[in-house]
Amino acid sequence: MPRPALAAIVVAALLALGVAAVVVLGGDDGAPPLRAATYPELRAAPATLGRDQEGEPVQVPRAGRPAIVTFLFANCPDVCPLVGQEISQALELAGPAADGIDVVAISVDPDGDTRASVRNYLKVHRLEGRMRYIVGTRADLAPMWAAWSVTAQPGGDVTKSVHTARVVLIDAQGRQVASYPGGIPFSPEDLAADIRTLTGG
């Protein structure tokens, strides 16, 4: 029996019993239910390779590993500290599930994001050993910004850098499934729940 016909019979039976029912039909794209704003269509995450604050290679996404990807600059006076704090709190709240997700920041300030400034940012926000922060020259980073559809305009006064503030969630299949707008405060509890969902924890 076709699904719409079967659903109609189920709804009619429930209504006959005085039970309110909501039936959602449609294709299953395999995306997990998340609290972040989901995308209308799942998109492959750009294959991103870089070097972190220790000079070690970073790859995102990695096969079979969900990820959080965000875009920061260490000397930011407002949005980036908030994003760091929210991610740090979410990782704490997620408990053991936090070990199952990669957390990667991509610099939007190639001049100001020195390894020393990035290390300090990670220390201040209790993200040491928990977040990999990709740094590099403009030539290194600009292709990443383009691939992720990120606007980055670091200039002489990095405290006024204009950039896209977004926290993107990647599932274990390497797909962009949802995001939080980094410029608006979001709930660490919501992100923690999404981490548990993405990791199966």
pTM: 0.80
Q: Decide which of 3.40.50.1100, 3.40.50.300, 3.40.30.10, 3.30.70.260 is the CATH code for 32-199.
A: 3.40.30.10
Q: Give the Cα separation of 186 and 170 in Å (integer).
A: 18
Q: What is the mean pLDDT of residues 26-43?
A: 76
Q: pLDDT, tens digit, for every residue of 147-174?
A: 999 887 655 454 555 667 789 999 999 9
pLDDT above 90 for 182? no
- Of all residues in the chain, the percent with pLDDT exceeding 90 is 67
**pLDDT tens digits, 69-90:** 999 999 888 889 999 999 999 9
| Sheet containing 37-44, strands listed edge to edge, beginning at the edge strand earlier in sequence | 37-44, 175-181, 166-170, 67-72, 102-107, 132-134
Beta bridge partners of 65: 62
Q: Structural domain boundaries of the chain?
A: 1-30, 32-199
pLDDT in tens, 108-119: 999 999 999 999
Work out the mean pLDDT of the chain and round it to a whole number: 83
Residue 12 pLDDT more than 90? no
Q: What is the C-alpha radius of gyration for the chain, rounded to an integer number of angstroms?
A: 20
Q: What pLDDT score was predicted for residue 162?
A: 60
